[in-house]
Structure 1
């Protein structure tokens, strides 16, 4: 992890990603940080001291089973925040978060701002959404025996606020299936009128 001292760039990301709109609290100490490809942002053994708002690059969030095999929780892109579980459980993280490429994040120290943020209703509402999404994704993983079609529909109805699937490759990680299986399911759901294609690789629940 590397802190980037570039106030102009930081302010650009705060405006561009509308991060300040997530808070009622003013004058928070935001910073800009960089992670290299393959670097862990969080793990159960690496307490996360800051909230991290992903502003550039992609990460993957996953867990490990007792036998050492991994299971994907999500593939984070725009508007992804880390630190929600640590804020609630005080430095506890259930999952690993790994940079899939060079990643830039806006960071905010957790403990330094805890007292103010615990009274910030706008932020707490956003925090609740983030925690709920991770819990729902974890539940989907535990029901991996369900047909892929059901997992896709549940994910788009219950997890994604905009009810949109962003790309087949990301979906393969979400639903633990092959690319061909997911393409077949998406095509079927489109033909049935349950999904509509809204752009290249983008499918929205109707």
Structure 2
């Protein structure tokens, strides 16, 4: 993630948004955040919470179960809002947002601006509309097709510290499969270059993941 503090660029992007009236009020505190394709935009593992409005590109939002099962919650393009729920409570532990392509967002720090944002009626009207739209989308929740290989890769990426899976027996229990099945999948993923073996019963996602 790259932070861009160019005031002129911030003004231009804010003026193009459907939320320009609100963003104009916030402009002194706004920054542009640029993400590469595949980069996590929001995650329980990220320390800083941002309120963000997509101004270019698109993103996908997933719920990741403890066994690596992935559910598509929503997708978002220009003017999609992130961080609206973080204004009221900390991040939900299994929801992740990923850039589907190069992504640019107008953003501001929630921790530094929460009180001012919650006192702004125009801003709160925008948040209510955003949350209503998201509630409607969640009613159409779809499970992504998930082979054991897919679940192992999701589990390693989203649930394992630094993408490292360690302890075949323990992790097989969490993935709802046998240790033999898990070992067979990991061997296949290693041959495909998706994971690297780093020790006995220990594998790390390859850098390309």
Q: TM-score range by the shorter chain?
A: 0.5 to 0.7
| Residues 1:114 and 2:92 aligned together | no
Cα distance change of structure 1 residues 99 and 30 upon mapping to structure 2, 3 Å threshold: same
2:58, 2:77 within 8 Å by CA — same for their partners in 1?
yes
Query: RMSD across aligned C-alpha pairs, in angstroms?
Result: 2.5
Structure 2 spans left out of the alignment, 5+ residues: 145-209
In structure 2, the residue corresponding to 1:62 is in which secondary structure?
Answer: strand
Q: TM-score, normalised by structure 2?
A: 0.61
- Cα separation, 2, equivalents of 1:26 and 1:7: 12
Q: Is the 8 A contact 2:43 2:95 kept in 1?
A: yes
Contact 1:10 1:32 in 2 (8 A): yes
In terms of Rg, which structure is larger? 2
Structure 1 unpaired stretches of 5+: 145-206
Report what 1:141 is aligned to. 141
Query: Corresponding residue for 1:52?
Result: 52
Q: Is the 8 A contact 2:14 2:24 kept in 1?
A: no
The whole-number CA distance in structure 2 between the counterparts of 1:89 and 1:105 is 22
Counterpart for residue 82 of structure 1: 82
Number of residue pairs matched? 144
The 1-side partners of 2:33 and 2:140 are apart by: 31
CA 1:143–1:43: 2 relative to 1, 3 Å: closer
- Check the 8 A contact 2:74/2:138 in 1, yes or no: no
- Cα drift, residue 76 of structure 1: 0.7
- The answer to whether the 8 A contact 1:47-1:92 is kept is no
